[in-house]
């Protein structure tokens, strides 16, 4: 907080700069307000909206749009409280776009290195693009009043520590973790960028050298293929990215293929595969394996195809429902196949990756969790029937909620006497829970995302 305020003061004292790219920057702010409106009022995700709007922006404006949209979602309750201090009558209905523009303006003033008065001008001008010219005066007045009174407004808003998360989720965390505040704090940070080095092409050390030659610094980790970049960059700047030398993948997610231990010539199902981050990892470790990459969302499977092509790998990409394996196995003429290994990276609440997708906090509802756990249970049951005796099923989620993780697997074990739990090579389960059946990663500031793994073998 202190840093933000002193930075703010320093910015105020700088001479105002007129930016040469005024018109394009203006459109980024208007587009950001439109995107935020669709997240908050229509329940759409940033990852579905941003690829669609980015075509209407100049390439150089994309980082600004992303910073604003992700940033606003990260700190939304704080910005909302500031607006409450400054606007007498809530901006509802058709004027919600103006409310979202105020969120954009306040985010810029508080969190971005933009000269404050220039930022205000840009946001005020965006009212025109948004056909809300009549609110020009209001936006100008609110943002300038904030600049004048920010010390007292922030003293009021920041009187108590704010989780910046929905209450239902905080309550669930409190119930599950004595150190729940660590998870909240990690979720409120910007995530590090992790790379997975393609073991078929380079060692981690040799790729790290290639990065260094391009002026990109990276750290190694316990995971044999992982590198953490000192600061995030675009994939175009990564040496040999288009030749498949590396994949952008979080550290915790990189454990999936390693724990699955895929072998050449085996039949392997990646059951919820899109966009294919783990499918390609499986094939890096076992290039001759017979891999089926299944997903229920046809449009998401395009990304699997693209990733396979970039890495020059082959898999059977199948659109189908993991709860109905007989249907799609028959459709592809593989009814007789029983799998040696199954990766079930299950559809989940994604509460372990909030720092990467802060909109999850506002999109996810408590009632979703019950539906998701029911779906996970159905998929587990259906796929278990397709596993060979002695076969391995790795269950994974990017959730931190016990009902999707340890509780789910405990129930599964109690209902399947032919399921045997295998140990995982990690020490110190979260909460030091000796009765834990799987391993729960929680998000770490310079580490991986929140992730869960449990490894099961089918008794013969």
* Binding annotation for S-adenosyl-L-methionine: 272-278, 295, 321, 345
Nearer to ligand SAM, 227 or 273 (CB): 273
Residue nearest to ligand SAM (CB): 272
Rounded to the nearest whole angstrom, what is the least distance from the CB of residue 340 to ligand SAM in the complex?
18
Rounded to the nearest whole angstrom, what is the least distance from the CB of residue 277 to ligand SAM in the complex?
3
Nearer to ligand SAM, 26 or 372 (CB): 372
Nearer to ligand SAM, 37 or 344 (CB): 344
Do the bridges between strand 339-345 and strand 316-319 make them parallel or antiparallel, or are there none, so unpaired?
Answer: unpaired
Nearer to ligand SAM, 163 or 280 (CB): 280
The CA distance from 122 to 76, in Å, is 21
Q: State the residues that interact with ligand SAM by CB under 6 A.
A: 272-278, 294-297, 300, 321-323, 345, 347, 379, 398
Q: What HEC string does the chain produce?
A: CHHHHHHHHHHHHCCCCCCCCHHHHHHHHHHHHHHHHHHHHHCCCHHHHHHHHHHHCCHHHHHHHHHHHHHHHHCHHHHHHHHHHHCCCCCCHHHHHHHHHHHHHHHHHHHCCCCHHHHHHHHHHHHHHCCCHHHHHHHHHHHHHHHHHHHHHHHHHCCCCCCCCCHHHHHHHHHHCCCHHHHHHHHCCCCCCEEEECCCCCCHHHHHHHHHHCCCCEEECCCCCEEEECCCCCHHHCCCCCCCCEEECCCHHHHHHHHHCCCCCCEEEECCCCCCHHHHHHHHHCCCCEEEEEECCHHHHHHHHHHHHHCCCCCEEEECCCCCHHHHHHHCCCCCCCEEEEEEECCCCCCCCCCCCCCHHHHCCHHHHHHHHHHHHHHHHHHHCCEEEEEEEEEEECCCCHHHCHHHHHHHHHHCCCEEEECCCCCCCHHHCCCCCCEEECCCCCCCCCEEEEEEEECC
Rounded to the nearest whole angstrom, what is the least distance from the CB of residue 256 to ligand SAM in the complex?
7
Report phi then psi at 51, rounded to 5: -60, -30
Nearer to ligand SAM, 32 or 273 (CB): 273
Q: How many CB atoms lie within 10 A of CB 281?
A: 27
The CA distance from 402 to 215, in Å, is 42
Nearer to ligand SAM, 99 or 357 (CB): 357
* Matching residue, tokens 């890096």: 284
Catalytic site residue 398?
yes
Contact (Cβ atoms closer than 8 angstroms) between residue 351 and residue 169: yes
Residues belonging to the binding site are 272-278, 295, 321, 345
Rounded to the nearest whole angstrom, what is the least distance from the CB of residue 396 to ligand SAM in the complex?
8
Nearer to ligand SAM, 40 or 322 (CB): 322
Out of 69, 73, 100, 398, the active site residue is 398
Rounded to the nearest whole angstrom, what is the least distance from the CB of residue 290 to ligand SAM in the complex?
18
Half-sphere exposure of 54 (CA within 13 A, CB side): 15
Rounded to the nearest whole angstrom, what is the least distance from the CB of residue 281 to ligand SAM in the complex?
8
Rounded to the nearest whole angstrom, what is the least distance from the CB of residue 351 to ligand SAM in the complex?
12
Which residues have a catalytic role annotated?
398
């Amino acid at each position: 907080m202190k840093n933000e305020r002193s930075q703010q003061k320093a910015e105020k004292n700088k001479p105002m700069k007129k930016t040469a790219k005024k018109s394009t920057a203006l459109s980024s702010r208007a587009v950001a307000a439109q995107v935020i409106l669709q997240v908050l009022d229509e329940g759409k995700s940033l990852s579905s909206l941003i690829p669609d709007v980015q075509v209407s922006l100049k390439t150089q404006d994309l980082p600004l749009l992303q910073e604003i949209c992700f940033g606003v979602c990260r700190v939304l309750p704080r910005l909302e409280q500031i607006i409450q201090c400054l606007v007498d009558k809530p901006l509802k209905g058709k004027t919600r776009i103006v409310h979202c523009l105020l969120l954009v303006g306040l985010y810029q003033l508080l969190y971005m290195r933009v000269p404050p008065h220039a930022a205000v001008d840009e946001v005020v001008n965006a009212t025109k693009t948004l056909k809300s010219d009549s609110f020009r005066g209001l936006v100008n007045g609110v943002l300038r009043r904030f600049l004048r009174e920010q010390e007292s407004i922030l003293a009021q808003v920041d009187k108590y520590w704010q989780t910046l998360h929905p209450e239902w989720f905080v309550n669930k965390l409190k119930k599950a973790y004595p150190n729940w505040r660590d998870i909240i704090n990690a979720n409120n940070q910007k995530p590090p960028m992790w790379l997975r080095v393609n073991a078929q092409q380079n060692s981690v050390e040799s790729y790290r050298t290639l990065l260094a030659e391009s002026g990109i610094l990276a750290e190694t980790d316990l995971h044999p293929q992982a590198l953490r970049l000192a600061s995030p960059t675009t994939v175009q700047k990564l040496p040999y990215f288009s030749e498949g030398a590396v994949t952008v993948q979080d550290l915790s997610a990189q454990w999936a293929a390693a724990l699955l231990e895929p072998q050449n010539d085996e039949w392997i199902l990646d059951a919820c595969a899109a966009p294919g981050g783990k499918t390609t990892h499986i094939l890096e470790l076992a290039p001759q394996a017979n891999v089926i990459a299944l997903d229920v969302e046809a449009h998401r499977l395009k990304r699997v195809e693209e990733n396979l092509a970039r890495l020059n790998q082959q898999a059977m990409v199948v659109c189908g429902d993991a709860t109905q394996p007989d249907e799609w196995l028959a459709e592809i003429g593989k009814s007789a196949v029983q799998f040696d290994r199954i990766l079930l990276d299950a559809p989940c609440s994604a509460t372990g990756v909030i720092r990467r997708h802060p909109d999850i906090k506002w999109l996810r509802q408590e009632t979703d969790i019950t539906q998701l756990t029911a779906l996970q249970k159905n998929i587990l049951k259906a796929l278990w029937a397709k596993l060979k005796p002695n076969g391995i099923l790795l269950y994974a989620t990017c959730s931190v909620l016990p009902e999707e993780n340890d509780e789910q697997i405990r129930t599964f074990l109690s209902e399947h006497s032919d399921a045997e739990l295998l140990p995982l090579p990690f020490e110190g389960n979260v909460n030091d829970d000796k009765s834990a059946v799987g391993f729960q990663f929680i998000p770490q500031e310079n580490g991986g995302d929140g992730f869960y793994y449990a490894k099961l073998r089918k008794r013969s």
